[in-house]
Chain A
Amino acid sequence: MNSLDVVGPQLAVLVAAGLVLLLDSLVPQQRRLLPVVALLGLIVSALWTTSWVGRGDYQFLFDGTLALDKYSVFFYYVFAGITATVVLASIDWVNREGRGQGEYYALVLTVCSGLMFLAASRDLITIFLALELSSIPQYILAGWGKDSKSSEAGLKYLLLGAIASSLLLYGMALIYGITGTTLLPEIAAAIKADGETYRGLLIVATILLIAGFGFKMAVVPFQMWVPDVYQGAPTPVAAFLSVGSKAAAFAVVIRIFFEGLDADFLSDDWSMIFAVLAAASMTLGNVMAIVQTDIKRMLGYSSVAQAGNFMIGLAAISVAGNEFTLGASAILLFVAAYAFTNLGAFVGVIAISQRIGSDQIKDYAGMWKRSPVLALAVAFCLISLTGIPPTVGFWAKLYIFNAGIRADLVWLVLIGVLNSVVAGYYYLSVARQMFMGDAEEDKKFRASPSITMALGAATIGVIVFGIIPMPLMSAAQDAAEIFAR
């Protein structure tokens, strides 16, 4: 197998990005084809990924810096799906904005390739560059709008992101300095050999890594940017940030911590750090979300709380023996479920705010009478975010709480359950507004075809995997198998 074939999924996405740019400048009268090219690139990427699943030919390449395994493949699908939904949801906004259409899709596709590289890297240098490849275009996209709020979002995201990157680099440098290698398996071997003699340094490096990635995951106390950036950035970009970079950050953190820093004496320490961060994120995110009146800010805080839920899986590493991978597979299931659910919610927000011209929750009153299908789809996504059956969010929460209990983190799971009740309050109060509230006007409306497609795909995913969760669960378990020891 040659190396071009190995990076095929990323290459397909990047080639599509180049084509979009070329098409935009050479054939400007055919701009409506741009999203089609972008979607085709993502489809080719997904098919390429599928061809490996067929071949079952998994291996490590580029001298071990890139892993082609079931874990990367799982995330390739997730990222291709997320990006396709974001492209669909962007079409109306980009057409209305008018400027830089080719550049917008090209940058979205570049982010996607960065996320894919991030999930597959097995080496600190590659991880860092892939992280920057996914971040820098996102800073630009967050500041894409012409209003000052969008510029503020872009600038805030850029400055805080730069600080987070520098902390991350510091942590990586310390790890390289003490182990003499950047490859995760070699780091693991070096730490297992004589790591206890430099345990203090490893803990400092671990904290720096958690701080750097915590920014991308948007967990407390690295969440300050979330509400402002989500509110100011164009809504499709906010959706992309909330799902894409969060999922990728968890993907790479699982790989670094479960593959590189999994020595027993060390994992006891960092699983405690993750447990505390998880509890803080869930609680603070939910409490702050209750008081929000802007739905994008509310979804921002809710994504902080959801990151706390993800983190229970990281804290659950201490599960002994053959259940070592339970925490990782729980996170993977949660990532996939969250991708469907949160994208659905954001696309619903895009569809509604496009028509009513407001992001205020109170303006959602009576949506049921104005656009029943839209209201129903958004309601399903909100129910799934809360974690109530028959939605995929229920299974994800059940699974991750189960992992927590098996790891003797009962206190953390209790906090998680209590927080789910709090979350239910504000998610369902939006639903109540839509169904019981009185609309100021009762003009009916429908979402545009592209938005309907995006919302439909997300909602169908939420419901179908809510009723038959087994395929998704076994895919997550398969992917997490690579960490078995």
Chain B
Amino acid sequence: MDGFGVTVAFWILAAVTLVAGGGVMVSRNLLHAVLFLILSFIGVAGFFVLLSAEFIAMAQVIIYVGAITVLILFAVLLTPRASRDNSETVWALPGMLLAVCLAAIFLFVVHDTQWKTVTDAPLLTTQDLGHALLGTWVLPFEIASVLLTAALVGAIMLTRSAEEEAEDALA
């Protein structure tokens, strides 16, 4: 994994991801923003492929591109005013200035740092990932499952209509 091809691929992916990310911000139509978001996610998936992390690249495509954006699209679809009312804000310019300053600091620092390069990273299979997930990282894994359960319970509670609650009270 070296040479010209990888470098070109990196820059193309970087351009796609960043331009799409900018598109998410500037497009006033929420649907367009979601489509840009999909493009940005695909760009990130490309980075994972470049880093020989195929499984994570697949997960990125399936979960972010597939599930999450579809969820956002449905939310936009079912919220009548959401796609029209993406209002302007007076904070756009100060926000942009702040973002440029932050980006400048980050770029400077990241460029200034002597990063350690790994040349002989072991090729990790999905099996290794599974072992790590249920071995060393079993505690965070389980915490995540509790977190999702709690989020589900909360989401159901917040979206229940008044009639359903009245029914519930009678039970």
Which residues of A are interface residues toward B (Cβ below 8 A)?
A: 7, 14, 21, 28, 62-63, 65-66, 98-100, 103, 106-107, 110, 113-114, 117, 123, 125-126, 129-130, 132-133, 136-137, 139-141, 143-144, 154, 177-178, 180, 197-198, 200-201, 204
Contact = CB atoms under 8 A, between A and B. Distances in A.
A151 to B, nearest CB: 9
Contacts of B139: 7, 62, 65-66, 126
A204 B106 contact: yes
12 contacts: A62-B139, A63-B135, A65-B136, A98-B169, A107-B153, A114-B143, A125-B140, A139-B154, A143-B158, A178-B116, A201-B113, A204-B109
Contacts of B89: none
A98 B170 CA distance: 11
Interface in B143-171: 143-144, 146-147, 150-151, 153-158, 160, 165, 168-169, 171
Given A65-B136, A107-B153, A107-B154, A177 B115 contact: yes
Of B135, B136, B157, most A-chain CB atoms within 10 Å: B157
Which 8 residue pairs spanning A and B have beta carbons closest together?
A140-B154, A110-B150, A63-B136, A129-B143, A62-B139, A201-B113, A133-B147, A198-B113
Of A98, A99, A144, A177, most B-chain CB atoms within 10 Å: A99
B109 A201 contact: yes
B7 to A, nearest CB: 20
Nearest to B136: A63
A110 B147 CA distance: 8
B138 interface: yes
A262 B64 CA distance: 37
Contacts of B140: 65, 123, 125-126, 129
Contacts of B115: 177-178
Contacts of A180: 116
A62 B142 CA distance: 12
Given A28-B171, A129-B147, A133-B147, 18 more contacts: A62-B138, A63-B135, A65-B136, A66-B139, A103-B153, A106-B150, A113-B146, A125-B140, A126-B139, A133-B146, A136-B154, A137-B151, A139-B154, A140-B154, A141-B154, A178-B115, A180-B116, A201-B113
Contacts of B87: none
A434 B30 CA distance: 52
B165 to A, nearest CB: 5
A200 B136 contact: no
Contacts of A154: 158
Nearest to B166: A99
Given A117-B143, A204-B109, A137 B154 contact: yes
B112 interface: yes
B150 A99 contact: no
A21 B150 CA distance: 11
Nearest to A106: B153
A178 B113 contact: yes
Contacts of B136: 62-63, 65
Nearest to B105: A204
